[in-house]
Amino acid sequence: MSGAEKEFNSMPTLGVNIDHVATLRQARGGNLADPLAAALLSEKAGAQSIVAHLREDRRHIQDRDIQLLKKNIKTRLNLEMSVNSEIIKIACRIKPYQATLVPERRKELTTEGGLNVVSGQKQIAAAISKLNKSQVAVSLFIDPDFKQISSAQKIGAKIIELHTGAYAEAKNLKLRKKLLQQVADAAFYAQKLGLTVNAGHGLDYNNARALALIPGLNELNIGYAIICRALYVGLFQAVREMGELIQ
Ligand code: PXP
């Protein structure tokens, strides 16, 4: 369902990012930690999409994981990726339901900041066009910034994902409120431009609910907090709790 079709007062769906299961597997090799098994269990617990990031350095998710996820999951595969031409080729071949374009830096611990659509218009527009031609919907992961949002719309994006990292990391309540409002204003502005609006990054069991209450948000994509909670309560329970929290 697109954000435009979504009822304004309905709550966002939950996309579960399973990269961290692959990180655990890569630490030792073997298949004791299996991203596909985690994805299937997450779906059973209520995840409405599965998010996986095929990085250029392949530090967690591997090409084979994406093939297996595409073939076996029952919900939607949201492939996070950079605008690297090799990765675009892979995405066009595998055809996930959606590609979410993110910036990528070699040494980052996780995706730091959104795409700069203002300065990278040409390259990002070309990536959108290639992916769309292969029937892959495209979302742009951007900061909650009006200039980035209007550039995204101008170059033909239909979906954006607002970067919630700054909100999630706010050191005090006053700042957190301010940054929550910034995401809400950005979401409102983007919806007025006709964009479907997702959000994610750094969300956890304490900060996701306030965000989910922003009107019209389509989907929240959450990984790290769910996988960490799964260590103590199991993955099914961890996904279920997050689903209940945001829905
Ligand atoms: N959305 C995007 C675009 C991301 O890059 C990430 C991190 O891979 C997430 C959501 C999930 O972030 P987290 O693991 O902090 O929940």
Residue 202 CA to ligand 1 centre (angstroms): 7
Give the residue numbers annotated as catalytic, written as ranges. 53, 80, 201
Number of Cβ within 10 Å of residue 141's Cβ equals 24
Q: What gap in Å lies between CA 225 and CA 30, rounded to an integer? A: 24
The residue whose CB lies within 8 Å of the most ligand 1 atoms, and thus the one to mutate among 80, 142, 206, is 80
Q: Does residue 219's CB lie within 6 angstroms of at least one atom of ligand 1? A: no
Are 53 and 19 spatial neighbours (Cβ–Cβ below 8 Å)?
yes
Atom 9, ligand 1: residue with shortest CA distance: 201
pLDDT score recorded for residue 111: 62
The confidence score (pLDDT) of residue 108 equals: 63
Q: Report pLDDT for 112.
A: 67
Please tell me the total count of domains within the chain: 1
Q: How far is the CA of 200 from the centre of ligand 1 (A)?
A: 6
pLDDT for 55? 96
Range of the domain at 132: 3-246
Point out the ligand 1 atom lying closest to the alpha carbon of residue 20.
Answer: 14
Q: Could you tell me the two tokens for 201? A: 């990054």
Q: Read off the pTM.
A: 0.94
All residue ranges of the chain with pLDDT < 50 are: 1-5
Q: Report pLDDT digits (tens) over 37-73.
A: 999 999 999 999 999 999 999 999 999 999 999 999 9
Q: Is 202 in the pocket of ligand 1 (CB under 6 A)?
A: yes
Q: How far, in Å, CA of 162 to CA of 87, rounded?
A: 22
Q: What is the CATH number of the domain that holds 29?
A: 3.20.20.70
Nearest-5° angle of CA 206, CA 212, CA 215? 150
